[in-house]
Amino acid sequence: MDLERSHSLRRLDGMHETLGKILDISDVKDLWRPLPVIRRHYGDEKVVAIDGGVRELELRDGSALIIARAIAVNNVGEQPVRDVAVRWVPVFAPVTKWVLMSLVESEVALRAIEGGNYGFLLLDGSLYAKITALIHELILTKGFLDLYYIPEVIRALESLYNLLERARELGVNVVFISKDSKLKIYKDYILFKAIKEIVLSDAPFVNVDKELIDILNRGIDWYSVVWIRNYRNKLISLAKNYNGAHRDLIRIGIRMSLSQSISDIMLLEELAKMQGVRKGLTRKLLIGAMDAYLNHKSLVNIENLLKFIRDRIEDSAGLRAVDSYGELNINDELERVRKVLINFPRILMTYIRLNESDTPMAVEIPYYDWPMFHHGVPWKLFYDKIDIEETLNLLMSMYRDPIHYNKLLWLAHEYANFSEDQFLEYAMMAVNRLKIPTKRRFGMAFSVDLNPSEYEQYQ
């Protein structure tokens, strides 16, 4: 258990009694459900699992060598599918690493399901986190150098969407699994719903600010309002000035909702402990474009969002042209994004606890009936009628212990991560094709004596 999580759990333990009172007021007492009984013979389904790894070498001139690889392993003894992407980039920005790895993982997954006749595709990580992070990269300038790589972000976004669509066509069930999720989607719903109920219960005796109720409603529906300064300040003010009968509960509830060190996993783990749930799954939550920034800026309207994205594409085209890093057709790039945004599916999310000593694990499944940006359905909605028993049976049958939480994904992770020696091997092959100054800097960085004859041919 890492120090941050241990500290947060101690804080929750200290709030245990107050948290119990908060949750008693809300309607989340039945949030955890029992797991279905696992079928004894569930080994016939063909399953493939994907994971990736990435390393980079930054050079003194600001450029970098990035190497990402991914592997698809299966449970039927077929040859794994592998790929390695080597990119030299003229300027380094951290976004290039995870975008390249996302791209390689999607492409390997697509190749695997095209020829494998698989029933399930397992991917490591959060689908919601992936899609929202890519959209944020298209509208938020985290760093000036990120602008260089807008086309690569678009390719990663498009590749993820194409993978989901092809899996749908082939009848492959796609499942994203996140063992150490830091998401706060359930946390926001639980705490803001409880705070709202407490405030309304005190309403006959306390003046209730309509704007405050609106913020609490957005806290229930969005993710996450604490990122918006005005809303955050209003919540802090509520905690300080509330004089209703439940002021202590309000203060603790808002403190927990604002804390970025308390995640879904921690709150759900505490809730399971309070309810005596040793193994189970949470109610299923159907989520759309609930991101607080997109909603606050009216960017859940796709045309508004595309206007922001066009500006970023134009900026990228200008920078890349100066450095001769490839020309862009701005309209073509924008149409690629438009297609993805219009059609990207909603996400069905649940947390499962497969062992009483284990932490809850996030499970996300694309839900194709409703697009992510469709306004006719709430952005966040408990939707229990969707049957995911097949998926649960599969995950339960592939669980061994908290480390080997999924035998195939664990195996893919072991293969995908590469050591410094392996990175050096890949990098040396790539660097041999670069100019001498880069080769020399590479050799110095890794204390490697490159063959002097390699230099002489360039003299």
Token pair in block for residue 53: 């790894």
State the pLDDT at residue 459. Answer: 25
Asked if 351 and 268 count as a contact pair (C-beta separation under 8 A), the reply is yes
Listing DSSP states for 56-99 in one string gives EEE-TTS-EEEEEEEEEEESS-PPPEEEEEEEEESS--THHHHH
Asked if 95 and 137 count as a contact pair (C-beta separation under 8 A), the reply is yes
Asked if 264 and 181 count as a contact pair (C-beta separation under 8 A), the reply is yes
pTM: 0.89
pLDDT in tens, 249-288: 888 899 999 988 889 998 998 888 888 888 999 999 999 9
pLDDT in tens, 6-19: 555 555 555 666 67
Instruction: For the chain, give the percent of residues with pLDDT over 70.
Output: 85
CA-based radius of gyration for the chain: 24
Asked if 127 and 176 count as a contact pair (C-beta separation under 8 A), the reply is yes
pLDDT per position in the chain (459 positions), as tens? Answer: 555 555 555 555 556 666 777 777 666 668 899 888 776 555 578 999 999 999 888 877 788 888 899 999 999 989 999 998 888 888 888 888 989 999 999 999 999 999 889 999 999 999 999 999 999 999 986 666 788 889 999 999 999 999 999 999 999 999 999 998 899 999 999 899 989 988 888 777 667 778 889 999 999 999 989 889 999 999 999 888 888 888 888 888 999 999 888 899 989 988 888 888 889 999 999 999 999 999 999 999 999 999 999 999 999 898 888 766 777 899 999 999 999 999 999 999 999 999 888 899 999 999 999 999 999 999 999 999 899 999 999 999 999 888 889 999 999 999 888 777 777 777 777 777 655 355 555 555 554 444 433 333 322
CA–CA dist 60, 441 (Å, integer): 8
State the pLDDT at residue 451. Answer: 45
* Residue type, position 35, single letter: L
Asked if 412 and 73 count as a contact pair (C-beta separation under 8 A), the reply is yes
* Residue type, position 300, single letter: V
What phi and psi values does residue 337 have, to the nearest 5 degrees?
Answer: -65, -45
Domain positions in the chain are 3-30+184-262, 47-182+280-416, 420-456
